[in-house]
Amino acid sequence: MTLNENDKKIIFDSIRDIHDFPKPGIVFKDITTLLNNKQAFKLLMDHLEERYKDYNLDYIAGIDSRGFIFGAPLADRLGIGFVPVRKKGKLPSTTICEKYELEYGFDEVEVHLDAFNEEVGCRVLLIDDLIATGGTAVASAKLVKDTKADLVEVCFLMNLDFLKGVPKVEKIAPVYSILEI
């Protein structure tokens, strides 16, 4: 299930570009203007609910932090649990972590060891707002798999196609992107 071109345009037009943020040469995709646009946000959430209602999901895992914004309300709409995948040091209980490479250095994401209530094979959707080079998404997908969950799909609102992150994630799980940029 995909959105028609008009619906994609409504969502796309509600996302603001901020040039030279967080550093010169970067065009930041600001979703705050999507979130405060009730028509666009409802259209997006209705689409996600329709797409995933028959996937028999047990959990949605959202990537820190914008994945929380879409993942938690979607989990509520589907009547399932939500699990945050956080940057290192943000979760209070026992965690497992995955390191990934940045342009200069490394970072880590983590999830609680019992995030999916130790349910082997539970069906999980991983979600985030945007995929660029794929480092965070790949690390997050590996974490979900490390918990013995079944990672059904990884969903992104936007795919910055020119940065080639999706093929890296597709080695781990199927990917669905709403907007190709």
pLDDT of residue 104: 72
Compute the average pLDDT of residues 3-25. 95
Position 176 in a domain: yes
For residues 173 and 149, the answer to whether their CB atoms sit within 8 Å is no
Structure confidence at residue 86 as a pLDDT band (50, 70, 90): very high
Which residue among the candidates 5, 77, 103, 118 is catalytic per the annotation?
103
Residue pair 79/91 in contact (Cβ under 8 Å)? The answer is no
63: in domain: yes
Q: What's the number of domains the chain is made of?
A: 1
In three-state secondary structure terms, 145 is: helix
Check residue 101 and give its pLDDT: 85
Number of other CB atoms surrounding residue 163 within 10 Å: 13
90: number of Cβ within 10 Å: 13
CA distance 97 to 70: 23
Q: How far apart are CA 83 and CA 164, in angstroms?
A: 26
Residue 34 included in any domain? no
Q: Is residue 165 part of a domain?
A: yes
| Parent domain of 96 | 55-180
108 labelled catalytic: no
pLDDT of residue 103: 67
Is pLDDT at 21 greater than 70 in this prediction? yes
Q: Report percent pLDDT > 90 for the chain.
A: 93
SS3 label, residue 149: coil
Among residues 51, 66, 86, 98, the one annotated as catalytic is 66
Q: How confident is the model at residue 177 (pLDDT cuts 50, 70, 90)?
A: very high
Q: Is 2 contained in some domain?
A: no
Q: How far apart are CA 127 and CA 166, in angstroms?
A: 13
Helix H, strand E, coil C: the string for 29-94 is EECHHHHCCHHHHHHHHHHHHHHHCCCCCCEEEEECCHHHHHHHHHHHHHCCEEEEEEECCCCCCC
Catalytic residue status for 103: yes
Average pLDDT of the chain is 96
2, pLDDT greater than 80: no
CATH number for the domain that contains residue 172: 3.40.50.2020
Give pLDDT tens digits for 134-159. Answer: 999 999 999 999 999 999 999 999 99
**Residue of 54, 30, 38, 49 lying closest to 158 (CA atoms):** 30
For 47-78, how does the pLDDT look when each residue is reduced to its tens digit (9 = 90+)? 999 999 999 999 999 999 999 999 999 999 99
pLDDT at position 115 is 95
Q: Is 139 domain-assigned?
A: yes
Average pLDDT over residues 114-121: 93
Per-residue pLDDT at 105 exceeds 80? no
